[in-house]
Amino acid sequence: MKIIRVVAGAILENGRLLAALRGAGMSQAGLWELPGGKVEPDEDDRTALARELSEELGIVVDVGDFIASHDHAYPGKTVRLVAYACQISQGIPTATEHADLRWVDAAGIDGLTWAPADIPLLAATLPLLSAPPMA
């Protein structure tokens, strides 16, 4: 079975995570995901992720530490989704390919319907988010 390597950015800012809503023209439209994309044959993960986030969101990021990976089976292929922590160094995220973007804190993650391939990565991402402020 063909394995497709896809990188995902856990873009973190002020204790929140950037979630991207898959648009009508995308597979799994209406589901939330960590933004990112396919790794080209001549790229390493970090280069591919920086390129994809620039193309999709119009931002420049510093790609940090590996967070987690997960293999998700689809009919006829397996997607190996690899997540890295990212910090925005330039720009403001803009939904050019996605239907919407939303910053969510740890409690808000459960309020979104996530793409199945992303769900295992979220558990590994949660410890990177700051605890919500005490009332």
pTM above 0.85, yes or no: yes
Contact in structure between 120 and 33 (CB atoms under 8 Å): no
Residue 9, domain extent: 2-125
pLDDT digits (tens, 9 = 90+) for 31-72: 999 999 999 999 999 999 999 999 999 999 999 999 999 999
Please report the sign of the dihedral spanned by the C-alpha atoms of residue 94, residue 28, residue 5, residue 110. positive
Is residue 132 one of the residues assigned to a domain? no
What's the pLDDT band for 135 if we cut at 50, 70, 90? Answer: very low
The pLDDT of residue 25 = 78
Number of domains in the chain: 1
Is residue 24 one of the residues assigned to a domain? yes
What's the pLDDT band for 130 if we cut at 50, 70, 90? Answer: low
pLDDT digits (tens, 9 = 90+) for 95-118: 998 999 999 999 999 999 999 999
Is residue 133 one of the residues assigned to a domain? no
Is residue 131 one of the residues assigned to a domain? no
Segment 76-79 long-range contacts (CB within 8 Å, at least 24 positions apart): 76/1, 76/2, 77/1, 77/2, 77/3, 77/4, 78/1, 78/2, 78/3, 78/4, 79/3, 79/4, 79/6, 79/117
